[in-house]
Structure 1
């Protein structure tokens, strides 16, 4: 709250209101210790208002009811997705004793493929938008998802104000030499990178994958069945009815050392349906492309990293199939929920060179009950919980909270020019969207 100074006691009411409004716009909440045209230092402490279940303390996450709810409360998010914030917690721990300064943040140039924005009282503003020769759809998809997570949240005005930069590339360049940046994936050594949900949670048109909620519907239809428009019911595939093969379609160019070894290990095995796609060849795409939902018709799904993460991973984990992945170097937000051994295993991990792939495939084929248990665990863990649209929006808002806690500054949305005029530093997202 702001308190009125005694010296202003007798100023006319209209002038006082104008001054109060201008002060509010410039310095936001809290009491600043240092003021600049772009940011203020945070006050020593700023407690966050507690959230609640709105009186329903026995609430449990039910995917049929809550899976597409982008506006779950903070407590509901933590109850539903206890493993979701693992990567954010690690990033926060790295900055527990030394917060990011505005100088550090501002040192990162907004290069090609990058966006700089402000979130002020839950509203999104675009400050800078670099050229996007190859990733424009990624940027728009990411911004749309973030905007949805904010606007769906009834208490968004209580979210902290932040200034952030994200990259639409597969990974953040120069991750340790500049200020903080949001990216779709990171390695453990990338200490300045904060994980955000990838663009595919909105849509991925370049590889002919539509809106995420629609992909999930088509996947569930293959595994669980669905009613047609005329009311007839088409049953889904039972796990043991699926093709007893390991399927993979992709390009070698994005990660030859890893993906070539997958091809080599699968070569000449009857259980393998592994093919390379040349994305520059229309005939090759027509012959080899497999719609993402049709991957779920196979019992086993191969996963291999690309230049960094592989965007198909979350789609595969939506299937009631066994995902088989090499040891992963690049982290994504949902990876803390991956379990590779024991009764709760929800995927199978092989060596990074796929040398043990044949042995593990033979075991799974010979033990179908083990394979089916892993597939069912994947559905319960990912399709019906950690990879729901609700989980994505929960993650976005927690990213805002924990990133804010790691910064010692808050952005100033309106700056003052030398002639005393105020001007906004960013364009409201709903306005910006109409201009791009």
Structure 2
């Protein structure tokens, strides 16, 4: 598995990042009914073509849909209807991107895929019996959530992000000319300050990160200064420029963070609180806890470390449920830090003092996700095909769905919704 072309070859049962799919398939058969599709897109795959049977209309979208829309554009000076229209436009973009991704997987498949119905739900917080961009990392969780590749594998309508294929090419140029030891040693982060999950290990994670790093010489951490109704930010970095730093800080939001996979393309050390959401390749991360690096763990320098709860409650029981086994610094490809960021500076200082360890963690990350091909276009379409096959084996469709609305072709649907999006 090498490169970013479509020449990547793999058996979808063994190489297309299948373990998170397999974990969902083994949950067993389930029935998809009308109650599951009230605010999601119901589609059908028939003879390797996509048909749209139902899609949420703006009038159907409650205020919960604002969380997945253009969050930075939220303003008390705007009417709810204005916010709804802006959120609708963003939702259509993400929805259509997923459909384009699926269509690409179908049209390039060497063999026909099974006919089936699917339930596409692109809101940040997933629901059962759906295709969603992430699922909770801990158990119990909503059942039968099939994680789909992020919409940025097609395109993201942020000018400083664009798409994974574009970023991958730009990052390759950076990594070819900038050795790890010559990268900026400041830990870097950009994000929307208040975009947190109230049920997470640190409900004020982003605000706390800004507080801990305020005026710090060892960090380049800034809240994004949004302009043009969230269309851009004056202090944004091009996503590939994060790779010019030795250390990249990762934060989750309402649920997953769409930037994670971009950062995993870098030969940089990714530092994050224990992740609580799983995207389709998140399970490939091999974290080492900061407590191991800092010598606060009795197995600090072994390469297979069963996580143990420490005196101060870190890692938490939630973290150890999600990540029951981590690795030592000689095998890790990222670092988990305390969710309250209290050991962030000490961890970075330790990595600076142990440059060979830092270099190895960074190298293994890029070797897996970029050179290993797991974020390549070929691996993405391979994953989509495995997803369709796995879903079709366990989903059972209510007759009420089968006899529903007159279908609309994929091409007609994306053209119509693109026109709606451009008007807003």
Q: TM-score, normalised by structure 1?
A: 0.72
Residue 208 of structure 1: how far off its partner (Å): 3.4
- Residues 1:379 and 1:411: Cα distance change in structure 2 (over 3 Å): farther
**Correspondence 1:364 to 2:351:** yes
The answer to whether the 8 Å contact 1:71/1:152 transfers is no
Report the alpha carbon displacement of residue 80 of structure 1 after superposing the two structures with TM. Answer: 4.1
| Bigger mean CA deviation after superposition, 323-332 or 185-194 | 185-194
Residue matched to 2:5? 68
Paired position in structure 2 for 1:323 = 270
2:342 aligned counterpart, secondary structure = coil
1:376 aligned residue (347, 363, 370): 363
1:70–1:148 Cα contact (<8 Å) kept: no
| Residue number in structure 2 paired with 1:164 | 118
Structure 1 unaligned blocks of 5 or more: 1-60, 225-235, 416-422
Matched, 1:313 2:260: yes
Give the deviation of 1:127 after TM superposition: 1.1
Contact kept? 1:85, 1:395, Cα under 8 Å = yes
TM-aligned CA distance change 1:100 to 1:395, over 3 Å: same
Q: Which residue of 2 aligns with 1:91?
A: 24
Matched, 1:386 2:374: yes
Name the structure 2 match of 1:396.
Answer: 384
Query: Could you tell me whether the CA contact under 8 Å between 1:303 and 1:325 is conserved in 2?
Result: yes
Paired with 2:408 and 2:173, the residues of 1 have a C-alpha distance of 41
Tell me how many residue pairs correspond in the alignment: 337
Structure 1, 291-300 or 383-392: larger mean CA deviation = 383-392
Residues 203/346 of structure 1: CA separation in 2 closer, same or farther (3 Å cut) = same
In the alignment, which residue of structure 2 is the partner of 1:185? 134
| Cα root mean square deviation, aligned | 2.6
SS in 2 for 1:126: strand
Corresponding residue for 1:47?
Answer: none
Task: Describe how 1:3-402 pairs up with structure 2 within 5 A.
Answer: 61=1, 63-64=2-3, 67-69=4-6, 72=9, 75=11, 77-78=12-13, 80-81=15-16, 84-95=17-28, 99-101=29-31, 104-111=32-39, 114-131=40-57, 132-155=88-111, 157=112, 159-172=113-126, 175-176=127-128, 180-187=129-136, 188=138, 189-206=141-158, 208-224=160-176, 236-255=177-196, 257-280=204-227, 287-340=234-287, 341-342=327-328, 343-384=330-371, 385-402=373-390
Consecutive unaligned residues of structure 2, counting only runs of 5 or more, are: 58-87, 197-202, 288-326, 418-424
Q: Distance in 2 between matches of 1:78 and 1:404?
A: 14
Q: CA deviation at 1:411?
A: 8.4
In 2, the alpha carbon distance for the partners of 1:133 and 1:279 equals: 18
Change (3 A) 1:368 1:165: same
Q: Which has the higher contact order (CA 8 A, sep 6+)?
A: 2
Kept in 2: contact 1:70–1:393 (CA 8 A): no
Cα drift, residue 71 of structure 1: 8.0
- Measured against aligned partners, the alpha-carbon deviations of 1:311-364 in whole angstroms (never above 9, x if no partner) come to 111101111111111111111110111001332211111122222212211111
Task: Please state how far the C-alpha of 1:250 moved relative to its aligned partner.
Answer: 0.6
- Quick one: distance in 1 between partners of 2:409 and 2:35? 24
Deviates more, 1:256-265 or 1:383-392: 256-265
- Structure 1 pair 302–120 and aligned structure 2 pair: CA distance change class (3 A): same
Q: Deviations over 1:275-325 (max 9, x none)?
A: 011324789965411111111111100000011111111101111111111
Which range moves more in the overlay, 204-213 or 142-151?
Answer: 204-213
- Cα deviation, residue 146, structure 1: 0.9
Shift of 1:68: 2.4
Q: CA deviation at 1:122?
A: 2.1
Q: Is the alpha carbon distance of 1:193 and 1:149 closer, same or farther for their aligned partners in structure 2, counting shifts above 3 Å?
A: same
Change over 3 Å in CA distance of 1:430–1:282 after alignment to 2: closer
Contact 2:34–2:401, Cα closer than 8 Å, also in 1 = no
Relative to the length of structure 2, the TM-score reads 0.74
Equivalent position SS for 1:248 = strand
**Alpha-carbon contact 1:277-1:285 (below 8 Å) kept:** no
8 Å contact kept, 1:141–1:199:
yes
Q: Secondary structure at the match of 1:274?
A: strand
- How far apart are the structure 2 equivalents of 1:318 and 1:238? 15
Deviation at 1:134, TM superposition (A): 3.4
Q: Counterparts of 2:356 and 2:231 in 1: how far apart (Å)?
A: 36
